[in-house]
Structure 1
Amino acid sequence: MSHNSKYYVKRLTKKDSKGLTKVSDFKKSSGGDIPNNLSTSESTSNTESTVQTECLPEANVNVHVTSDESPALTLSVKKRSSVDRRKFNAAKYESAFSWLYHSSVTCGYMCKYCELFVFGAHSSCKPFVTKGVKLGTHPSRKLKKHDQSSEHKAAVQHYALSRSNVNVYQQLKAQGEDQIQYNREVVKKIFKCVDFLIRQKWAATENMAKVVKFVAGLGVKDLQQYLIQSSSHSVKYVSSSSVTQMITCISNLLERQILHDIHDKEFSFLADESADLAHRSQLSIMARFAQADQTVKTHFLGFVQLEKGTAEAIMEAIQGFLIAKDIDIANIRFMGFDGCNTMSGIQKDLQRRIRHVSPFAVYINCRNHRLALCLVHLIKQFPLLQDVDSTLLSLWKMFEFSPQKTAVFKHVQAVYGKEPLAITRAATTRWLSHLQASARFVSRYTCILDTLDDIYAQKKEPEVYGIRLAVTDKKVVATILLLCDILKPVNVLSWYLQNENINFTPLPQHVKTTTDQLHALVTLYQSDMAAANLELSETEFSKCHGLFREIDDRTDLRRRMRQDNAAVTPESFLNETGIPLIFNLIQEVEDAFCTGAPVLTAFGFLDPQNLPDTIQELGDYGKTEIERIVDFYGTPKEDTLLGHTVNVPSLMDPVILQTELNSFKIQLFMLRLKLSQFFACS
């Protein structure tokens, strides 16, 4: 039988019943005889039927004796499901076969040893060597066959020998002291070249030899002499295995330095979920903490594989990762995740579980995610935004994946005397990227229409015709013009939130500035419509009349009669869709940034811009905020989650903390006074 036996059913024959219990034996065991009224043929048929059913793996036979002492045979057969519902787990086979890895280039699984050292007949379709293999549902036979092949064993042996031959430390140890010192200088410079390639995010293993020769050509004598001496044989220390070993050394050194700096320190914890090239879920972990020179930096700590996407599984993965790095999870003071419920839930999700083991940790939701979700939430109320997103994305795909159509588009732009530009992609999940895509669409609208007309006239493709209909929809065009206006102030807020050293204290003021600009935009639209001066306005929406005329000129009479495009005007669109959309966006932004941890908001009194102007007002300044901070960090914490209780002592003495904060605000006031006097004199 094959290992995949679920697809085979054995045909039962009469000889399979040999040695099995017969129906007559059931009668004997119950103390009775077979009734005489049964014929021999019927008995034989029943016997064969019973014997065959007894051979089934899931058959259950029950015998009941009736009042006339004649046995009643009951047969129940449980049908086995032929569907294999087991989930394929690639990690199981990768751990069992160390040579197995997933390659995104070949779109399959490869052998890391056979790919480096190919033995036997060279072929472009050799599984695991030059051709990626899809494992399927039962890959054990394929993997074991390759693992036991002679070519694979030869490649493994060759790899082991090559690793020992190119070991940098062994080569240095076997030479004389002078040669060792000389080689160290050479290797030191090669290490610097490797570090340069890594920081530039270039492929180090492929470009290493070229970079070393280039640096040597700039006048580095050690490398020049080394290359001359190595001209008779292959140059050492620049092969892929040596460079990989150097990269590992640099990685270990940097990791040791980071872990030494963060040890026993309080830090901010950052994490975000993503997927690798094999589409396996992983969590990127970063930490932000103060350095020895009192500067605050963010460091990447590593990736951790996620078996499940639940809060419990993510918490276990984080705890195991931090324990392996010798980092105390109780030292987390701030944590930042995205806004999904698994990460930000307050009942028993990730941020709640971290606050259970570190009660002084304060959760900060990613502000950029919140801002992006404000526009995403508008899609539910204004489905027209979904049509805009689909139109922009379809237009980008058509030109991105067709060089011929792109060439036509560039030619049309050149005919109009404009600089040839490509269509910008609008990310589906990041609506803030739509500003550039919308602006490019408006600036090249006439060229886009001519290109679509030319392509459709040649090939008559339905896809091109559908895009042509979408880009001549007046509501879609008007919405794109509206996005060009409303996304400008929103993008300014987004750039502020993406700043590495962002200060959250003035964030409410930046949010208010954004909402005020959106209110001013509504006022400008209403005043222009009242004065019948919308076409001469300074907004991007003022181009709406011109684009509508262009659409009418390019739409034949029959389609204009069938569609409601003629009934759409810029003024009616603003009153019915545009202005309500802006008001809803303002409400979404205010709701997204109105909430936050009270203790985090209390730190705003330390901002020098919030200090009072006179010394008399300084006494009462920040009293509520200081009490809130002292209450949070100066009292013990008790937290209970899922029946488990944690008691943590206070971080600071409340009296000392209150005294320090009161004296610090006085120092801030004096410092601001000195700075203002200095700038006044200068």
Structure 2
Amino acid sequence: MPPKKQRIVVLPGQKTLLSFVGRDKNNNSENVEEMPQTSNTNTDIPDENMAVDEDPKELEHDKRDGPGEGIVNKDPRKYRPVWEKLWPWLLYDGTKMYCKSCQKAGKKNSLALGCTTFKTSTMSRHQETPDHKQAISVPVHQQEFTKSCNKLNSAEDEAVILAMMAVYWLASEDLPLNKYESMINFLKKIGVTKLENLKVNERTNYESYYSATEILDVIDSEIESEIDEKISKSPYVTILADESTDISNRKKITINARIINPETSIPETVFLRDKSYADGTGEGLTSVIIEEMAKHKITNDKLIGFGSDGATVMSGSDKGVKGRLMELNPHMVHIHCMAHRLALCTSQAAEGVPLMKHYQEWLTSVFYYFKASPTREGELHEVQSVLNLPILKCKEIHAVRWLSCFEAVQAVYRSLDALISYFHKRQASKDPKAKGLLKKMATTSFIYITYMLMDVLPIVSKLCLTLQKQDLDVAVAKVRTTK
């Protein structure tokens, strides 16, 4: 079957293929039909080669003067507001169109920077690009993240938060973590039903001792990160160190840091580490301190002070911790703890007075006399009650507790009449220890020393407690000690 003849539409004045070879005299044939020349010719018959997104009403064709010359668009393409309904992310400023999503996401494509190619194909191609898809997905991810944050206080999360609060309370009260499980059970019994969600299934729960240790490690890491942040912001750091023994008689060194808040210029003391050590020499203690400084990123030029108890191993200028730290920073200042120096002054001053030494021995004897027998202590309380005196116990003088002598003297001072009456009663029952204590007590020197100490020790004790404040500077100390 021969091919079907197609109808060719010729624009007014347009040359045909036959005209180039001189055969088209009338510019008309049976297969070629000239369009009538009217004003709306282009709008009635669209061009088959025209792009899909081109509006025939926007095009106006000129005459072809010869081969190789295309169609000139005298009426440029215009932005259509109706496009914003098809592509809500589209924005037009009067000269260029933009993609709002790509601009907000900081992309560098053509529509993000501004485009003047006003075609629907421009938007169609743009919405398929990876840049645009990624920019569109950002708000969706943000909404999902917000929903996740809103679910933070779900039932399981609230149960874990309560468990963390329980572990933190046990640690802050110096209670063992093996009490954690019984504490959780007790809280359930008194109506804290949210803790039921700590049990995931029959084999998995967060109520055991091991869960408590893991929670404590998480709390510890969070506190350490906060301390590290404070230290990094502080322009200067002072290290405070003291050595002692724990309840199991292991040697330990406690390391604290004195820092400054750069925004408020308020000093603050933060705890760094309570660490065991084997080498108690100046070199060994210095290595422990330097290791802790490196862990918290405290540089040598940032270390401007070192505070200690004044022991030789700490304050030695040659082989002590002070001398070795000054090798790292010669501008560092060593500070002997003022509260410790005050306690040393009072204790050493009492050793030079024989009467004071005998008085301390008597206080120690009275303490152990009543501690050895609950019956004696009960009888003393009965005498105090009859004389309308406060029910007090005799206190012990501790060598490691600053000014514990004040508490012991105060107890004797407030129960002086009751003690004399009780020892007289015990003497009548032929108690040799009571007779000896009464003999030392029934002297004018004993009464004088008791009243003299009660005039001096309250003032010294107040000064000592003031110097032990955690956040104290020179100005505050001067004001509090002069009141």
Q: TM-score, normalised by structure 2?
A: 0.60
> Who is 1:276 aligned against?
246
Relative distance call for 1:431 and 1:210 in structure 2 (3 A) is: closer
> Who is 1:320 aligned against?
291
Are 2:459 and 1:489 equivalent residues in the alignment? yes
One-letter amino acid matched to 2:470: E
Are 2:375 and 1:395 equivalent residues in the alignment? no
Q: Following the alignment from structure 2 to structure 1, what is the Cα–Cα distance between the partners of residues 251 and 165? A: 34
Structure 2: stretches of 5+ with no match in the other structure: 1-150
Conserved 8 A contact 1:371-1:494: yes
Q: Residue 403 of structure 2 aligns to a residue in which SS?
A: helix
Relative distance call for 1:191 and 1:507 in structure 2 (3 A) is: closer
Name which of 465, 472, 478 aligns with 2:442.
Answer: 472
Q: Following the alignment from structure 1 to structure 2, what is the Cα–Cα distance between the partners of residues 480 and 323? A: 52
Spell out, residue by residue over 1:217-258, the C-alpha distance to the aligned partner (whole angstroms, 9 max, x if none): 45x5533x538x78x968821222211221122112212332
Name which of 160, 163, 187 aligns with 1:214.
Answer: 187
Relative distance call for 1:453 and 1:428 in structure 2 (3 A) is: farther
Measure how far apart 1:325 and its partner are. Answer: 4.2
Q: Following the alignment from structure 1 to structure 2, what is the Cα–Cα distance between the partners of residues 293 and 310? A: 39
One-letter amino acid matched to 1:222: K
Conserved 8 A contact 1:304-1:321: no
Structure 1: stretches of 5+ with no match in the other structure: 1-177, 515-682
Measure how far apart 1:347 and its partner are. Answer: 4.2
More helix by share: 1
Measure how far apart 1:206 and its partner are. Answer: 0.7
Conserved 8 A contact 2:244-2:251: yes
Q: Following the alignment from structure 1 to structure 2, what is the Cα–Cα distance between the partners of residues 439 and 393? A: 14
One-letter amino acid matched to 1:358: N
Relative distance call for 1:292 and 1:243 in structure 2 (3 A) is: farther
Are 2:212 and 1:239 equivalent residues in the alignment? no
> Who is 1:261 aligned against?
230
Q: Following the alignment from structure 1 to structure 2, what is the Cα–Cα distance between the partners of residues 264 and 297? A: 12
Relative distance call for 1:321 and 1:221 in structure 2 (3 A) is: same
Measure how far apart 1:186 and its partner are. Answer: 2.2
Conserved 8 A contact 2:167-2:180: no
Structure 2 matches for 1:396-435, cutoff 5 A?
A: 396-428=367-399, 430=401, 432-435=403-406
Q: Following the alignment from structure 1 to structure 2, what is the Cα–Cα distance between the partners of residues 306 and 200? A: 26
> Who is 1:252 aligned against?
221
Conserved 8 A contact 2:233-2:262: no
One-letter amino acid matched to 1:183: E
Measure how far apart 1:287 and its partner are. Answer: 0.8
Spell out, residue by residue over 1:88-147, the C-alpha distance to the aligned partner (whole angstroms, 9 max, x if none): xxxxxxxxxxxxxxxxxxxxxxxxxxxxxxxxxxxxxxxxxxxxxxxxxxxxxxxxxxxx
Q: Following the alignment from structure 1 to structure 2, what is the Cα–Cα distance between the partners of residues 216 and 375? A: 53
Q: Following the alignment from structure 2 to structure 1, what is the Cα–Cα distance between the partners of residues 225 and 171? A: 18
Conserved 8 A contact 1:426-1:433: yes
Relative distance call for 1:304 and 1:221 in structure 2 (3 A) is: closer
Name which of 318, 332, 339 aligns with 1:368.
Answer: 339
Cα RMSD after superposing both structures:
3.3
Equivalences, count? 331
Structure 2 matches for 1:80-159, cutoff 5 A?
A: none
Q: Following the alignment from structure 2 to structure 1, what is the Cα–Cα distance between the partners of residues 415 and 246? A: 37
> Who is 2:258 aligned against?
288
Name which of 335, 354, 363 aligns with 2:325.
Answer: 354
> Who is 1:499 aligned against?
469
Conserved 8 A contact 1:285-1:300: yes
Relative distance call for 1:292 and 1:239 in structure 2 (3 A) is: farther
Q: Following the alignment from structure 2 to structure 1, what is the Cα–Cα distance between the partners of residues 315 and 440? A: 38
Measure how far apart 1:368 and its partner are. Answer: 0.7
Relative distance call for 1:298 and 1:346 in structure 2 (3 A) is: same
Measure how far apart 1:297 and its partner are. Answer: 2.4
Measure how far apart 1:331 and its partner are. Answer: 1.9
Q: Residue 457 of structure 2 aligns to a residue in which SS?
A: helix
Relative distance call for 1:260 and 1:456 in structure 2 (3 A) is: same
Name which of 327, 336, 342 aligns with 2:313.
Answer: 342
Q: Following the alignment from structure 1 to structure 2, what is the Cα–Cα distance between the partners of residues 507 and 287? A: 20
Measure how far apart 1:429 and its partner are. Answer: 5.0
Measure how far apart 1:404 and its partner are. Answer: 1.4
Conserved 8 A contact 2:166-2:180: no
Conserved 8 A contact 1:338-1:365: yes
> Who is 2:21 aligned against?
none
Conserved 8 A contact 2:371-2:377: yes
Name which of 153, 163, 166 aligns with 1:193.
Answer: 166
Q: Following the alignment from structure 1 to structure 2, what is the Cα–Cα distance between the partners of residues 413 and 506? A: 41
Structure 2 matches for 1:5-16, cutoff 5 A?
A: none
Q: Following the alignment from structure 2 to structure 1, what is the Cα–Cα distance between the partners of residues 377 and 203? A: 46
Spell out, residue by residue over 1:356-379, the C-alpha distance to the aligned partner (whole angstroms, 9 max, x if none): 212222222111111112212213
Q: Following the alignment from structure 2 to structure 1, what is the Cα–Cα distance between the partners of residues 402 and 163? A: 45
Structure 2 matches for 1:635-646, cutoff 5 A?
A: none
Conserved 8 A contact 1:193-1:212: no
Structure 2 matches for 1:274-673, cutoff 5 A?
A: 274-291=244-261, 294=264, 295-428=266-399, 430=401, 432-458=403-429, 460=431, 462-505=432-475
Spell out, residue by residue over 1:432-453, the C-alpha distance to the aligned partner (whole angstroms, 9 max, x if none): 3333322321221221123234
Q: Following the alignment from structure 1 to structure 2, what is the Cα–Cα distance between the partners of residues 373 and 320? A: 31
One-letter amino acid matched to 2:240: L
Q: Following the alignment from structure 1 to structure 2, what is the Cα–Cα distance between the partners of residues 398 and 483? A: 22
Q: Following the alignment from structure 1 to structure 2, what is the Cα–Cα distance between the partners of residues 213 and 292? A: 45
One-letter amino acid matched to 2:360: D
Relative distance call for 1:233 and 1:470 in structure 2 (3 A) is: farther
Conserved 8 A contact 1:435-1:487: yes
Q: Following the alignment from structure 2 to structure 1, what is the Cα–Cα distance between the partners of residues 376 and 283? A: 50
Q: Following the alignment from structure 1 to structure 2, what is the Cα–Cα distance between the partners of residues 422 and 473? A: 22
Relative distance call for 1:310 and 1:444 in structure 2 (3 A) is: same
Q: Which of these two proteins has the greater Rg computed from alpha carbons?
A: 2
Q: Following the alignment from structure 1 to structure 2, what is the Cα–Cα distance between the partners of residues 394 and 241? A: 47
One-letter amino acid matched to 2:334: Y
Spell out, residue by residue over 1:369-391, the C-alpha distance to the aligned partner (whole angstroms, 9 max, x if none): 11112212213431221111111
> Who is 2:74 aligned against?
none
One-letter amino acid matched to 2:464: S
Relative distance call for 1:268 and 1:347 in structure 2 (3 A) is: same
Spell out, residue by residue over 1:236-292, the C-alpha distance to the aligned partner (whole angstroms, 9 max, x if none): 212222112211221122123322432474211111111022212211001121347
Relative distance call for 1:445 and 1:251 in structure 2 (3 A) is: same
Q: Following the alignment from structure 2 to structure 1, what is the Cα–Cα distance between the partners of residues 330 and 450? A: 47
Conserved 8 A contact 1:190-1:212: no
Q: Residue 369 of structure 1 aligns to a residue in which SS?
A: helix
Q: Following the alignment from structure 1 to structure 2, what is the Cα–Cα distance between the partners of residues 358 and 340? A: 21
Q: Following the alignment from structure 2 to structure 1, what is the Cα–Cα distance between the partners of residues 185 and 299? A: 42
One-letter amino acid matched to 1:268: T
Relative distance call for 1:328 and 1:293 in structure 2 (3 A) is: same
> Who is 2:109 aligned against?
none
Conserved 8 A contact 1:264-1:328: no
Q: Following the alignment from structure 2 to structure 1, what is the Cα–Cα distance between the partners of residues 323 and 478? A: 25
Q: Residue 353 of structure 1 aligns to a residue in which SS?
A: helix
Relative distance call for 1:290 and 1:205 in structure 2 (3 A) is: farther
Sequence identity percentage? 24
Conserved 8 A contact 2:180-2:212: no
Relative distance call for 1:201 and 1:483 in structure 2 (3 A) is: same
